[in-house]
Structure 1
Amino acid sequence: MGLFDLLSANRSENLFLPAHGRGNALPKKIKNLLKLRPGIWDLPELFEIGGPLIREGAIAESQKSSAYEVGVDRCWYGVNGATGLLQSALLALARPGQAVLMPRNIHKSCIHACLFGGLVPLLFDVPYLSDRGHASVFDKKWLQSVFKKVKEFEEDIAAVVLVNPTYQGYSADIESLIKEIHSHCLPVLVDEAHGAQLISQVSPDLPKSAISFGADLVVHSLHKSAPGLVQSAVLWSQGDKVDPFNIERSIELLQTSSPSSLLLASCESSIKELIESKGIKKLKSRIEEAKLLKDFLINKKVPLLKTSDPLRIILHTSKFGLSGIEVDKRFIKKRIIGELAEPGTLTFCLGLSSHKRLGKRFVRTWNEILTSSGEQKACFFKRPPFSIVTRPLKPFTYSWGSNFEKVKLQDAIGRISVEMVCPYPPGIPLLIPGEILDEARVEWLIEQKCFWPEQISDFVRVIC
């Protein structure tokens, strides 16, 4: 089937991102805009429109209004997804040669930013859930142990990056983590790509956005947990730890000089949906519907994992010895298409559209998979062999640009990688340029290759 046929087909249960569910939950203003003469909205940075970095015009006024409504000092709309704004934020925080402290479950875009900016990625380990193969959240005590270890590296640390919530929806006590980082006089950037809906504060049972607790910079992907079009995002800034000039200079470096007017309009409309009464009412309705669906599935003995995100369903396949990657293929055959297939789980994103008829189909499909697979023992995953804090053995830019050779994984012990090994999604690197492949890492990567056969190669590129 060709690209245009695929884009126009809509015969499946869409449980993947973007959260607007194939247009069902797009804001009314965007729907009306798309009904007009085709392409009428495809405009350049005309004087009246402006752009994210232009002081006057409709975009400047819109960004100013959004920042005021959310309660921060500044914001910038992005048309290169959370990726572009995370990278811009990192480059604004640190100078070449400085280090940035970030968790091992960081998105690959932040690793790429370190390459662009000549930064040193100091990666710290996070708790691990061996029954499902997920990185977990950590607490203040864990972070304190990280800072204690960091002193041994004698690096000039410029900032700390946090990921909250995770792709699967796990959320930490982000307030205590931000306070701890600020006590070390460091700014904090929070990758809240999967948590834009948190600014709505629709329920006291749900986590609050890192914005509420004084995070210096926060990035939201507006298509992952808000009704934005793909590539729409926003960077929020507050306080005096980060100079807005540095942020804008970095955005100018990494974002297109011809931003899409449609995507910029989508940024404005999706943020309004999260902060205005009508949009909040719709979000509450979707959350209540999701709770009922989850209760139904649990009552039917479907193994779901609990996270802080009410709009995600995490099917715990490894509890029955099944790979989420293989289970995903079976669901797709039944036209139930999920978002994130992993070795131990399959994540479905309910998004902001309705799925009232999903329950029985989901149960029937899962039971068919169980019946055909037979009884199998629960599968557990080996904890990654990471130290509490690590840095690349060789400088990042040197490793990336070095001459290399391609060797089999089992022959790579003692060699230094020039590439990133990173199943996508979720886009979390297992190996980054400059890291040494010791025996434990090689054995673990070979094991991961068995779990991700189509994502991890038998070979790795290393410095000659």
Structure 2
Amino acid sequence: MSLLRILFDSNPRFALHLPVHGRGEALPPRLKDLLHRQPGCWDLPELPEIGGPLDVDGAVAESQALFAARMGVDCCWFGVNGATGLLQAALLAMAAPGEAVLLPRNAHRSLIGACELGGMLPVFLPVPFDEDRGHPGAMTADGLSRSLEALPDLCCRLAAAVLVHPTYHGYAAEIAPLVDRLHARGLPVLVDEAHGSHLAFAPGMGLPPSSLTTGADLVVHSLHKSAPGLAQTAVLWQRSTRISSTSVRLSLQRLQSSSPSALLLASCEATLDWMLSTQWIRILQRRLEQARRLHECLDRHGVPLHESDDPLRLILNTAAVGVSGLEADTWFMNRGVIAELPEPLCLTLCLGFARHRGLAARLRHLWPLFIKEQGRPSLAAVAAPPLDSVQVAELSPSSVAHRPSLELPLHQCADRIAAEMICPYPPGIPLLVPGERIDHLRVQWLQLQHRRWPEQVPGMVKVLA
């Protein structure tokens, strides 16, 4: 099937995946108006009146300055390479080659890429792991304090720290004390808030606080994962107390396209403007109320759900009825319910900002059929990975990239140094990073993951020769 055929497919489906505008339903009105005009009229270069994210003049520069002022920060940059490009640019601006950075164990693979690009040494901080769900949770303040006390002596300067808030599944970190404790250590803080952009635009709605309210130095928001913009759009917010805007600008320049899409830049502007409007507040309130009612309805009808701090995430506990989320994903997809994230023990749906009329009835109807056709005794929990302490990569990812390597079966990789990343996508959280030494416990855990998730966790791994 061709890509064009898929894009032209107009069959009604429940699109419970990213982007969260629900196949266009929840796009900002001004962006919808633009897309309804003559095709291609918006495909423009960096004309002087438009400019780009790194220009000091033009419409884009004016928009960025306006949004920075409205959000109470010093600088704002639009991104057209997703949260990935902005996370990488932000981290490269915070640390020099040969320096170390603190990363939570559930950091996105883009940050490992930044370490490789910038010659930085990742120091991994443990995060809680929920064995019944089979995936990581959110960092706690007490956990961070223990990790900071246990930091080993490093061979290089520790330059910066990264936090994830919320996680892919909507679990919120204790973000304010986390930022405070890292600042107390003299470290600038970058927060990956790609899955929590809406938190900054939801005053008084009972959602976790955004890291923008905590004094974090750099915050990256995706504008399609948790905001109703087009795919590949994002925004970077900066406070310049600890990181200079010049450093960020130079870093962005290294990674930024010299021909950014005018359509994607317009999507950034329209999305942020829409989310700062009173109309958006009303829409978000309705969506949250609908999501909470959906959770209550499914719970009453015996559909097993895991709790999340974000009502717009619906996590089906498929393991409770003996089915992996991977099998469940195929079953539901064939019946018109397209989920976001299948995992060995659960299936996560992103409700997003579209209305999804009839979803509750559809899921109530499908769940008994699903159990009848697929149900078995409950699945065993996923053992927590042996990553419950601070771990320093033995080599920086950049120093591994060009060394000779060989591919070995997992059981032969004990005490070898990894030469590649093992990273199920989604969610894009590495289970193994280049430069890490693979001990026996990690080998055993990866073998278990391979048996449960063979399409995503390979049985062969590249290691240094």
TM superposition shift of 1:149: 1.3
What does 1:65-214 correspond to in 2, within 5 Å?
Answer: 65-153=66-154, 155-214=156-215
Q: Counterpart of 2:231 in 1: which secondary structure? A: coil
Q: For residue 268 of structure 1, what is the amino acid of its counterpart?
A: E
What does 1:285-364 correspond to in 2, within 5 Å?
Answer: 285-364=286-365
Residues 272 and 279 of structure 1 are in contact (CA less than 8 Å); yes or no, is this contact kept in structure 2? Answer: no
Output one character per residue of 1:121-151: Cα deviation in whole Å (capped at 9) or x when no partner: 0011111111111211132111111111114
Match of 1:220 in 2: 221
What does 1:378-389 correspond to in 2, within 5 Å?
Answer: 378-389=379-390
TM superposition shift of 1:88: 0.3
**TM-score, normalised by the number of residues in structure 2:** 0.98
**Structure 1 position 59 matched with structure 2 position 60:** yes
TM superposition shift of 1:204: 4.3
Partners of 1:328 and 1:149 lie apart in 2 by: 40
Residues 289 and 356 of structure 1 are in contact (CA less than 8 Å); yes or no, is this contact kept in structure 2? Answer: no
Match of 2:451 in 1: 450
**Structure 1 position 6 matched with structure 2 position 6:** yes
Match of 2:243 in 1: 242
What does 1:398-417 correspond to in 2, within 5 Å?
Answer: 398-417=399-418
TM superposition shift of 1:393: 1.5
Residues 273 and 280 of structure 1 are in contact (CA less than 8 Å); yes or no, is this contact kept in structure 2? Answer: no
Q: Counterpart of 2:429 in 1: which secondary structure? A: coil
Residues 406 and 460 of structure 1 are in contact (CA less than 8 Å); yes or no, is this contact kept in structure 2? Answer: yes
Q: For residue 9 of structure 1, what is the amino acid of its counterpart?
A: D
Partners of 2:340 and 2:376 lie apart in 1 by: 26
Output one character per residue of 1:417-455: Cα deviation in whole Å (capped at 9) or x when no partner: 110000100000010111112111111111111121111
Q: Counterpart of 1:423 in 2: which secondary structure? A: coil
Q: Counterpart of 2:290 in 1: which secondary structure? A: helix
TM superposition shift of 1:319: 2.2
Match of 1:46 in 2: 47
Residues 164 and 173 of structure 2 are in contact (CA less than 8 Å); yes or no, is this contact kept in structure 1? Answer: no
Q: For residue 151 of structure 2, what is the amino acid of its counterpart?
A: V
Q: Counterpart of 2:212 in 1: which secondary structure? A: helix
TM superposition shift of 1:379: 2.2
Structure 1: 5+ residue runs without aligned partners?
A: none
Residues 421 and 431 of structure 1 are in contact (CA less than 8 Å); yes or no, is this contact kept in structure 2? Answer: yes
Structure 1 residue runs of 4+, over 3 Å off? 151-155
RMSD: 1.1
TM superposition shift of 1:371: 1.4
Residues 202 and 284 of structure 2 are in contact (CA less than 8 Å); yes or no, is this contact kept in structure 1? Answer: no
Q: Counterpart of 1:195 in 2: which secondary structure? A: helix
Partners of 1:172 and 1:394 lie apart in 2 by: 29
Residues 338 and 346 of structure 1 are in contact (CA less than 8 Å); yes or no, is this contact kept in structure 2? Answer: yes
Partners of 1:144 and 1:259 lie apart in 2 by: 41
Partners of 1:138 and 1:407 lie apart in 2 by: 34
Q: Counterpart of 1:150 in 2: which secondary structure? A: coil
Partners of 1:143 and 1:262 lie apart in 2 by: 41
Q: Counterpart of 1:401 in 2: which secondary structure? A: coil
Q: For residue 2 of structure 1, what is the amino acid of its counterpart?
A: S
TM superposition shift of 1:457: 1.6
Structure 1 range deviating more: 2-11 or 200-209: 200-209
TM superposition shift of 1:154: 5.2
Match of 2:270 in 1: 269
**Structure 1 position 423 matched with structure 2 position 424:** yes
Q: Percent identity?
A: 46
Q: For residue 286 of structure 1, what is the amino acid of its counterpart?
A: R
Partners of 2:248 and 2:375 lie apart in 1 by: 55
Q: Counterpart of 1:152 in 2: which secondary structure? A: coil
Structure 1 residues 387 and 393: alpha-carbon distance in aligned structure 2, compared to 1, 3 A threshold: farther
Residues 115 and 396 of structure 2 are in contact (CA less than 8 Å); yes or no, is this contact kept in structure 1? Answer: no
Residues 193 and 221 of structure 1 are in contact (CA less than 8 Å); yes or no, is this contact kept in structure 2? Answer: yes
TM superposition shift of 1:294: 1.3
**TM-score, normalised by the number of residues in structure 1:** 0.98
Structure 2: 5+ residue runs without aligned partners?
A: none
What does 1:247-262 correspond to in 2, within 5 Å?
Answer: 247-262=248-263
Structure 1 range deviating more: 359-368 or 223-232: 359-368
Match of 1:229 in 2: 230
Q: For residue 325 of structure 1, what is the amino acid of its counterpart?
A: L
The number of equivalent residue pairs is 464
Partners of 1:239 and 1:320 lie apart in 2 by: 51
Residues 123 and 392 of structure 2 are in contact (CA less than 8 Å); yes or no, is this contact kept in structure 1? Answer: yes
Partners of 1:261 and 1:248 lie apart in 2 by: 19
Q: Counterpart of 1:43 in 2: which secondary structure? A: coil
Q: For residue 125 of structure 2, what is the amino acid of its counterpart?
A: F
